[in-house]
A and B are shown apart, each in its own frame.
Chain A
Amino acid sequence: MLELPARIPEPLAHRLAAIRSRYPASDPDMVAGVVGAVLTTMRGDLSASDTALLHEVEELGRTIAAARAEIAALQVDDITASHIPSATDELDAIVAHTAGATNSILEVCETLDSVAGKLDGEAAAALQDATTRIYEACSFQDITGQRITKVVATLKAIDSKVAQILNTFSEAHGDSFRAPTPAVVVSPVPANGDPAAVGPQLPGNAMDQTDIDKLLASFD
């Protein structure tokens, strides 16, 4: 009588891992089916604990099949074909519109500055102080633009990860959840070892100018 151990022996586990690395695109349904068929031929020789293990494997196969069906029902092609491009287009439009508005504001400010240059005393100073504050405020467009660029990169990374998962499920079956998408790398670290430029940090995670001044002073 064939004895199936309650736990998979280490050599077998290594062997399974080696097979999986050689055939990364193996269809989970097919593997579950083969295991099920093999175990079925052994059913008469199995003990109670072996039968329980068999049920676990069968349940695993059903879970995989259900996951595949759910993913197919999600119509994930829409994510690539419509949702993500639409979201990134909307974000690009936000950047373009805010840039346009900011440039209009700057143009008016430049006119006010030239008027201030023709005035004297308090009026000139007050007008220039006002335009200075507007210039400072307009730098929001740079910061928001960088934040939006980070969001777009994140969306593309999610899109890429979803594609990798779907391809694992669909390749062996020839299913068409979607076409393979090249992996997206977000914020690569420069090859020369310099720290990557990651854009603005969220408030609370960032050093402010005072912190930076102290850090710089610590080098003196």
Chain B
Amino acid sequence: MSIDKSMNVLIVDDYKTMLRIIRNLLKQIEFNNVEEATDGAEALAKLRSGSFGLVISDWNMAPMTGLQLLQEVRADARLKGTPFIMITAESKTENVVAAKQAGVSNYIVKPFNAETLREKIEKVLGNA
């Protein structure tokens, strides 16, 4: 199944360095339309005012966490179908379960490699 790599992707992380790394890794797999947000609230505003085919978000951010962002996205009639990948250092079972129950599309634990990112994106967008 071919994936439309011209779609807008929103990446969300409070570490600017991490945003830069993910942006570059996405660019290497030919996702060039990437926007950034540094917390859940900023991300939600961008999602509501734009059109995105994929969200890749960290969990641990303030004032709105990645999990809260996911819950907001899934509760929004227009956004609820947007594929949402969590990339986070939170690797406890309860965190993964909470994310799944909130409707996460896939979950990547940091530190991750480019192959894992590519594989999860293909899986999520292939199912979208």
Contacts and interface: CB of A to CB of B under 8 A. Distances in A.
Interface of A: 99, 102-103, 106, 109-110, 113, 128, 131-132, 135-136, 138-143, 145-146, 190, 194-195, 197-201, 206-209, 212, 215-216, 219
Most buried by B among A143, A197, A206, A212: A197
Most buried by B among A110, A140, A142, A145: A142
Contacts of A194: 65, 67-68, 98
Interface residues of B, number: 37
Given A102-B17, A139-B111, A132 B95 contact: no
A215 B96 contact: yes
Interface stretch (B3-11, B19-27, B43-51, B74-82): B19-27
Contacts of B73: none
Interface of B: 13, 15, 17-18, 20-21, 24-25, 27-28, 59-60, 65, 67-68, 88-98, 100, 106-114, 116
> Which DSSP category, helix, strand, loop or mixed, fits chain A's interface?
helix
B25 A198 contact: no
Given A135-B21, A142-B18, A199-B60, 12 more contacts: A103-B17, A113-B27, A135-B25, A135-B114, A136-B112, A136-B113, A194-B67, A207-B96, A209-B109, A209-B116, A212-B91, A219-B100
Contact of A207 (B67, B91, B113): B91
